[in-house]
Amino acid sequence: MTLKHQIAPRVSPFFVKMVQKYGKVSLSWIGTTPRLIVGDAELMRLILINKNSHFVKPPRNPLVSLLQLGILTLEGGKWATRRKLILHAFQLEKLKAMVRAAFSISCCSLIERWQKLIGHQESLELDVVPEFEFLAGDVISRTAFGSSYQEGKKIIELQKEQAVLAVEANNSIYIPGLRFIPTKKNKRRYHLYNEIKQLLRDMIHKKEQAMKMDELGSDDLLSLLLQCKEKGDNGLTVDDIIEECKLFYFAGQETTANLLTWAMIVLSMHPNWQEKARDEVLRICGKVTPDFEAIKQLKIVNMVLQEVLRLYPPFPGLLRYTACETSLGGISIPAGVDIYLPVLLVHGDSNIWGEDAEEFNPERFSEGVSKASKDQAAFYPFGWGPRICLGQNFAMIEAKMALAMVLQHFSFELSPSYAHAPCSELTVCPQHGAPIMLHRL
Ligand code: HEM
């Protein structure tokens, strides 16, 4: 079949031009919709920094789409208001306070829990996937909702189930009207959607009451969002705030948990790097819980995490949709084109990363991200451009602290029952879990 026959008639001249200009561009189909796949690092960056490419196409059926998870539903002025607010919430000073108030409490309780589980034994086999999910959920609940973090955890559990059902619906062929049929899964989808919304509504109500009593207010994320409620044209409605809270859970929990899980797996496979990282942690922090200043000095731990993000980026691809005709790199992309940016492919490109692109080699990050590859535009674990991850510093500090504390207290190796099978659900995760043998140090 020639290229021409694979191309949608509606946009064919455009796709032909793209494929001719950039070899690493191709076309696939999601149901009946054509999707452009851009594996060229430079073009990827142009698309990501372009303000006309929206996050995703508006859903035909919001209830069974990824957007029900609250993923980036805001656009325009409200989105800018939200970004400013969250950037404010994640300023360095505020992150320092979070390390003290939330990160260290959650990480210490993880270590205590593992120590209790080991008890008097020398070793213990543990699937670290649920452990890190719990940790990341605990951290995000404390920082986003302050005192309401217990309620937050319930929402995380429901969202996890919702994510599985949303991905399943998103990947299946869309049949108009199917969502109204009360199948078991559809009923569950509606139930989850309503329950999460109600829990968040109650939480918002409680928080508003608390804020009225306490004039100083608090610095947690929900309080900050509420301060912007209904102010001016770009003020947030309660429904917007609900979507933002959902996004926080979703964006902040599974991603960071994945990073930590893969870090444990990869360091188990490469005991020499595990040793190097542990030596660094013990040299800088001893056995004391790391504080913000100590975390900043953990260079090897940082290199390890960067390399894990290169090989196992939690989001293996990014999505964009051109809301209007958009000109990029001398090419005009028509409105209504679905674009998929395969981060994983660019991260593993040997022309960019060298012959050892598939190997775990944290050394490549020893002089920083810009010198790690031949192409500065080739590392996208946190996206790029106006929608770049707002939580990247938050996530890296949390991951460094948790990994450093695990290294301080345990050595680890893969359990014989571990099977290496990375798979891409909503994020890249180990298909059969991550059973690890922990040894007390
Ligand atoms: C290892 C951990 C993480 C990774 C790999 C990651 C990755 C990403 C990526 C790739 C995007 C951009 C999506 C796109 O452009 O299509 C994104 C957006 C976002 N992330 Fe993260 N993230 C992580 C942790 C976090 C955490 C901990 C938070 C919050 C505490 C967070 C909050 C957000 C928010 C709010 C956005 C939306 C930005 C916007 O629309 O302007 N992320 N993240």
Return the pLDDT at 274.
98
Q: How many angstroms separate the alpha carbon of residue 209 from the centre of ligand 1?
A: 30
Q: How many angstroms separate the alpha carbon of residue 438 from the centre of ligand 1?
A: 30
Q: How far is CA 431 from CA 278, 418, 421, in A?
A: 28, 10, 5
Residue spans of the domains in the chain: they are 1-66+319-347
Question: Are the C-beta atoms of residues 434 and 261 closer than 8 Å to each other?
Answer: yes
CA-based radius of gyration for the chain: 22
Nearest CA residue ID for atom 18, ligand 1: 389
Mutate which of 143, 318, 382, 427 for ligand 1 pocket (most atoms within 8 A of beta carbon):
382
Task: Read off the pLDDT of residues 358-388 as tens digits, 9 standing for 90 and up.
Answer: 999 999 999 999 899 888 778 999 998 888 8
Which contiguous run of DSSP H or E holds residue 151?
A: helix 149-171
Tell me the backbone φ, ψ of residue 400, rounded to 5 degrees: -65, -40
Name 81's Cβ contacts closer than 8 Å, sequence gap at least 6.
228, 234, 235, 236
Return the pLDDT at 28.
67
Which contiguous run of DSSP H or E holds residue 201?
A: helix 184-213
The burial class, CB within 10 Å (0-12 / 13-18 / 19+), for 33 is middle
From the alpha carbon of 320, which atom of ligand 1 is closest? 16
Give exposure, 75-103, as e/b (b: 16+ Cβ within 10 Å): eeebbebbeebbeebbeeeebeebbeebb
Mutate which of 57, 389, 392, 401 for ligand 1 pocket (most atoms within 8 A of beta carbon):
389
d(CA 85, CA 176): 38
Q: How far apart are the first and last CA of the chain?
A: 60
Verify whether ligand 1 is closer than 6 Å to residue 387 (CB atom). Answer: yes
- Which among 436, 398, 96, 55 is positioned nearest to 271, based on CA atoms? 436
Q: How many angstroms separate the alpha carbon of residue 110 from the centre of ligand 1?
A: 24
Q: How far is CA 376 from CA 43, 314, 346, 362, 379, in A?
A: 13, 20, 12, 17, 7
| Six token digits for residue 55 | 């996050």
Verify whether ligand 1 is closer than 6 Å to residue 314 (CB atom). Answer: yes
Q: Is 433 left (phi over 0), alpha (psi -120 to 50) or beta?
A: left
Question: Are the C-beta atoms of residues 402 and 132 closer than 8 Å to each other?
Answer: yes
Verify whether ligand 1 is closer than 6 Å to residue 381 (CB atom). Answer: yes
Verify whether ligand 1 is closer than 6 Å to residue 385 (CB atom). Answer: no
Is 423 annotated in some ligand binding site? no
| Full-model pTM | 0.88
- Which among 369, 387, 386 is positioned nearest to 378, based on CA atoms? 369
1-66+319-347 has CATH 3.30.43.20 classification: yes
Return the pLDDT at 19.
65
Nearest CA residue ID for atom 16, ligand 1: 318
Q: In the chain, which residues have pLDDT < 70?
A: 1-23, 27-34, 52-82, 147-150, 170-176, 178-179, 214-219, 230-235
d(CA 190, CA 268): 41
From the alpha carbon of 309, which atom of ligand 1 is closest? 5
d(CA 129, CA 123): 18
Report yes or no for ipTM above 0.90: yes
Q: How many angstroms separate the alpha carbon of residue 372 from the centre of ligand 1?
A: 22
Q: How many angstroms separate the alpha carbon of residue 237 from the centre of ligand 1?
A: 22
| Length of the chain measured in residues | 441
Which contiguous run of DSSP H or E holds residue 28?
A: strand 25-30
Verify whether ligand 1 is closer than 6 Å to residue 391 (CB atom). Answer: yes
d(CA 78, CA 233): 8
Return the pLDDT at 239.
79
Verify whether ligand 1 is closer than 6 Å to residue 440 (CB atom). Answer: no
Return the pLDDT at 181.
76
Q: How many angstroms separate the alpha carbon of residue 403 from the centre of ligand 1?
A: 20
Nearest CA residue ID for atom 36, ligand 1: 389
Q: How many angstroms separate the alpha carbon of residue 382 from the centre of ligand 1?
A: 6
